[in-house]
Structure 1
Amino acid sequence: MTAVATAAAPTRAAAPALTLDDRLALAHHEMDDRLASRSAAWAVDTAHIPLEAPELLAPAPAPATYLTPVAAVLQEAHRLLADRGWCRRWLSDGVRACSKGAIQAAARTIGGGHGDQAEEVLLDRIRADQPAIQSIGAWNDAQASPAPVLAMLDRAARHADRRGI
């Protein structure tokens, strides 16, 4: 028998285990690459969409100034809701308020004790459109956005002003 000399195949040493910091750095670089690729793909996908110039909105007209106390309370309630925000299911959440909570806050701000009358006028205007409504709170909670609440406060303020209350 002849002895055949075989050379041992060179073996590579196992790579050292990566530390947590090394793995996080690799994941960070992989994520950067993915985000850059997706951003480029999005730019290509949306390049054909024409951009239109935004419509310039005219400034809102100055609100009417009401001389009657109840109309002034309703106008102040509108201003409070427009400035601080509107909510449902609570009189106030600390910042935002519902329509009834805004009327109460406006009556305290203005003084004169006209909050109850303002609520009556608002409920009267609500019931003119929706006779089945039982309370301001129920109507407020049924709204999906502040727009109908603000519009109704305006209507109630104009109504109170016309009636002289």
Structure 2
Amino acid sequence: MTATRTAAAPTRGAASALTLDERLALAHHEMDDRLATRSAAWAVDTAHIPLDAPELLAPAPVSSYSTPVAAVLQEAHRLIADRGWCRRWLTDETGALCLLAAIRTAAGGEGPLADQAEAVLLEVIGGDSVARWNHGQTGPRAALAALDRAARHADRHGI
């Protein structure tokens, strides 16, 4: 019988606590990973939305919708088409509007009508917030298309 020798596994001392900078760096990397994952999920979720359909880029005539929410969404479309679209801010230095600012302006300020229009738009885009969805866009086409679809949806449902 031969004797075998096994080396003892090296042992480690107790791990030292992370410094504040190290914890912040880890949190930063975790947030980057979460944002990248969400961005990929958003791309998959919205891949079916047509962005180049010409009928989605031009606002419909002012009197095309009879329901109040549809009219607000249509006016928001017109405002963005006229003033420009922005993200990260409600309005930018040129006067361009994000989706929320356009809806609130079209509704005459914050209130039930603006809330209903935002809810219909959120239902159409299928995101978790209008602001977050707007921020994820790279240009006005998707925002204008979403407003147009939301106005048609509100009109069909009498909202």
Both structures adopt the same fold (TM-score exceeding 0.5): yes
SS, match of residue 108 in structure 1:
coil
Match of 1:41 in 2: none
The residue identity in structure 2 corresponding to 1:134 is D
- For 2:111 and 2:82, the matched residues in 1 are separated by 23
Higher relative contact order (CA 8 A, sep 6+): 2
Moved over 6 A (4+): none
- For 1:76 and 1:69, the matched residues in 2 are separated by 11
Deviations 1:38-82 (A, max 9, x none): xxxxxxxxxxxxxxxxxxxxxx97715100000000000000000
Match of 2:102 in 1: 102
Q: How does 1:16-165 map to 2 (within 5 A)?
A: 63-64=60-61, 65-93=64-92, 95-108=95-108, 113-127=112-126, 133-165=127-159
CA shift in 2, pair 1:73/1:163, >3 Å: same
The number of residue pairs the alignment matches comes to 100
Give the Å deviation of 1:134.
1.7
Unaligned runs of 5+ in 2: 1-56
- Whether the 8 Å CA contact 2:59–2:74 is kept in 1: the answer is no
- Whether the 8 Å CA contact 2:100–2:131 is kept in 1: the answer is yes
CA shift in 2, pair 1:135/1:150, >3 Å: same
TM-score by length of 1: 0.56
Greater C-alpha radius of gyration: 1
TM-score by length of 2: 0.58
- Whether the 8 Å CA contact 2:59–2:77 is kept in 1: the answer is no
The residue identity in structure 1 corresponding to 2:102 is A
The residue identity in structure 1 corresponding to 2:100 is K
Root mean square deviation of aligned Cα: 2.2
CA shift in 2, pair 1:112/1:90, >3 Å: closer
Match of 2:11 in 1: none
SS, match of residue 103 in structure 1:
helix
Unaligned runs of 5+ in 1: 1-59, 128-132
